[in-house]
Amino acid sequence: MSGAVLISGAATGIGAQIAIYLADKGYDVIAFGLDTDLPMNIEAPGRGTLKEWSTARSLPVTVVEADVTSPDEIDAVIALAMAEHGRIHALVNNAAVRWLGSVPDTSFERFQQTLAVNLGGAFLCSKAVLPVMTASGGGAIVHIGSGAGWGKANMAAYAASKGGLIALSASIAYDHFHDHVRSNIVIPGGGLMSGMIASSPEESARIRASMPGTAAGRPADGADIGAAIEFLISPAGATISGAVLDVGSFFHQGGPLPPHPSASANKGS
């Protein structure tokens, strides 16, 4: 593939899964974030760090320590991508933190921190990459959203940040339409576990047991999210901008989906 794909928050969790998926498909990936020496979480196909895993499989993944709230560190990632690959094909804004709580339960400091990472980080990464993409004739930005972006209980700060991300993506799509830079949102869900939600196989199994999963009859996984992103950054998605692609089976609408009929029958027997 021509040009690098930058993925923020990619050392662990969904970001690491996306990095592995896209690298497997032939993209040159630069995965950046904090705690790059931590093992990938339970959903990732390995027990080591992303760097160890990609090196063992000879995947084109470069892992870089960088904070999405630091313009200087983001600029360093951009410079590395240009030096090694000559252009930037795509940016995946994945970095996020999640704190639970209603407005009265959430301190203003925690609210600000959540917005700084989830929304401010996407803004800063996009701001740094847009001139580079425009100068090279275009590119694609994919933001990892959440069903919480339409509002969810006990997620005041997180929901506010993800709601803002939806608006930011649409604004980028409008403003850079004629620059051939596409901006879209991917909504995970459908029982997908991330580092923010579960930290052990037991916790993952417990949460998934109460979720309907997806229309495929199974929970979503990192490959499902990676496939959606690959579509949006590939020539197949060349005409798509300003869209929201829900990979979680109605997850963006809040749900919940009704239980499977067999589950209701078993409950009543």
Which pLDDT score, from 0 to 100, does residue 37 have? 76
- Phi/psi of residue 61, nearest 5 degrees: -120, 125
CA distances from residue 241 to 63, 125, 131, 140, 160 in whole angstroms, order as listed: 28, 18, 18, 9, 22
Residues 6+ apart with CB under 8 A from 50: 10, 11, 12, 16, 19, 20, 31, 36, 40, 44, 61, 63
Which pLDDT score, from 0 to 100, does residue 199 have? 47
Please tell me the number of Cα atoms within 13 Å of 159 on its side-chain side.
16
Catalytic residue ranges:
158
In contact, 76 and 84? CB cutoff 8 Å: no
Question: How many of the other CB atoms lie within 10 Å of CB of 260?
Answer: 12
Tens-digit pLDDT profile for residues 124-138? 999 999 999 999 999
Domains of the chain by start residue, with CATH? 4-268 (3.40.50.720)
Using DSSP's 3-state secondary structure scheme, residue 251 falls into: helix
pTM of the model: 0.87
Which pLDDT score, from 0 to 100, does residue 58 have? 85
Tens-digit pLDDT profile for residues 26-40? 999 999 999 877 777
Cα 138 from chain centroid (whole Å)? 21
- Nearest partner of 229 among 262, 265, 185, judged by Cα: 185
**Per-residue model confidence as pLDDT tens for the chain (269 residues):** 689 999 999 988 889 999 999 999 999 999 999 987 777 764 545 568 888 888 888 889 999 999 999 999 999 999 999 999 999 999 999 999 999 999 999 999 999 999 999 999 999 999 999 999 999 999 999 999 998 898 888 999 999 999 999 999 999 999 999 999 999 999 987 656 555 544 455 555 555 555 667 778 778 888 899 999 999 999 999 999 999 999 876 656 555 555 666 655 555 54
Residues 6+ apart with CB under 8 A from 177: 241
